[in-house]
Structure 1
Amino acid sequence: MTTWQSFAAAAPSLAAHVHRRFTSGESHVLATLRRDGSPRVSGSEVSFRDDGRLYIGSMLHAVKARDLQRDGRFALHAYPGIEDGGEGDAKLAGVASEITDPESLSRLEVDPASHLFHLDIGEAVYTWVADNTLFTESWHDGGAWVRFARPDNGPVERTVLG
């Protein structure tokens, strides 16, 4: 897993697209794991901070916070509205870690009656359509940054970008 800043350095244009999608709307879809292992989806806001990390917050003792405290694995889907003018679809997955140090919470100006998690990124995916071609770019920590193109609903073309 890696920080947002490290991901952005490894796949800069992909990170720019993903960042744009996550900052174009306020509420996104966060998937966490319940105690029994089944999925839970919740609305969540994200925060890109100057320290090169991506964060999500939660109300104190919310079920999504308890899920992440127990098992930090997450998937996050940028606001999937169709009103975005065809700007594409962005998703992230990785591991969330709660920030509990009072000094860090104070520096980050976090309400002590809430939770704050930084997100380490393991996977990023951006999908869009242009000129009758479906494109998907994906990046995996420790793996390649790859673009898949499927022009005119035909065979998939794979290009390694980094």
Structure 2
Amino acid sequence: MATWAQFAAAEPELAVYGRELLREEQGYAFLATVSPGGAPRVHPVVPFVADGTLLVSIAVNSPKTRDLRAEPRYMLHATVGDNDTEFAVRGCAREIFDDTGTKWLRAHRELNVIDIPLETVLFALEIDRVDAAIWDDGPPHRQTWRAPNG
């Protein structure tokens, strides 16, 4: 698994592209989790990057929180951008318990037009794989990045 910073160091142009599609102004991203019964579940979320870490804050009593605590595998898909561009990240989520997480959440709340309550759970989305599709004229240009040992 890798952090967003490690991914960005390895693939800077792809990271800039992905960050643009994950911006709040683009709308929500979609987080796929695995429910207790093993079925996939999809939820809208607003991801953000702080100190080189891809993060998502989720309500304490949300099915997303229960899913990630029981089975940390996830897939995050950005809202489709202009010209049907796509960006998706998959890996494992790790719950953040320390003061750094609180600092990140407070900073995100100050920058964010959506009021995120502090009674949320913060997850770092560790990255195993990134997939992108960039459409120009003709078929899409597809790009994949995998974390080392991923």
Q: CA deviation at 1:112?
A: 4.1
Give the TM-score normalised by structure 2: 0.85
Q: Tell me the equivalent position of 1:64.
A: 64
Letter in 2 for 1:8: A
Residue in 2 that maps onto 1:152:
none
Which structure: greater helix fraction?
A: 2
- In the aligned structure 2, how far is the partner of 1:115 from the partner of 1:10? 29
Distance in 2 (CA, whole Å) between partners of 1:58 and 1:27 is 13
Does residue 89 of structure 2 align to residue 92 of structure 1?
yes
Deviation at 1:85, TM superposition (A): 2.8
- Contact 1:56 1:119 (C-alpha < 8 Å) held by counterparts: yes
What code does the residue aligned with 2:87 have?
A
Are 2:121 and 1:115 equivalent residues in the alignment? Answer: yes
Quick one: distance in 2 between partners of 1:136 and 1:70?
Answer: 32
CA distance in 1, matches of 2:9, 2:105: 26
Q: Percent identity?
A: 28
Which amino acid letter does the alignment assign opposite residue 131 of structure 1? D
Deviation, 1:22, is: 0.8
Name structure 2 gaps, 5 residues minimum.
107-116
Is 1:25 the counterpart of 2:26? The answer is yes
**SS in structure 2 at match of 1:133:** coil
| CA RMSD, Structure 1 to Structure 2 (Å) | 1.8
Counterpart position of 2:76: 76
SS at 1:108's partner residue? helix
Query: TM-score scaled by structure 1?
Result: 0.79
Structure-1 separation of matches of 2:149 and 2:48: 26
Q: Deviations over 1:41-79 (max 9, x none)?
A: 011110111x11010011111000110011110001101
Determine which structure has the larger strand proportion and give its number: 1
Q: Does the aligned pair in 2 maintain the 1:74–1:94 contact within 8 Å?
A: yes
State which drifts further: 128-137 or 113-122.
Answer: 128-137
- Cα offset, 1:109, TM superposition: 3.8
**1:13 match:** 13
Structure 1 position 125 matched with structure 2 position 131 = yes
Aligned residues: 139
Runs of 4 or more off by more than 6 Å in structure 1?
none
Write the distance in 2 (CA, Å) between the matches of 1:18 and 1:106. 25
Counterpart selection for 1:142 from 118, 131, 148:
148
Answer with 1 or 2: which has the greater Rg.
1
Unaligned runs of 5+ in 1: 145-162
Q: Deviations over 1:120-162 (max 9, x none)?
A: 1111011022121321000011279xxxxxxxxxxxxxxxxxx
Distance 1:126 1:105 in 2: 28
The corresponding residue for 1:155 is none
Quote the Cα distance in structure 2 between the aligned partners of 1:109 and 1:46: 11
Alignment partner of 1:105 is 2:101:
yes
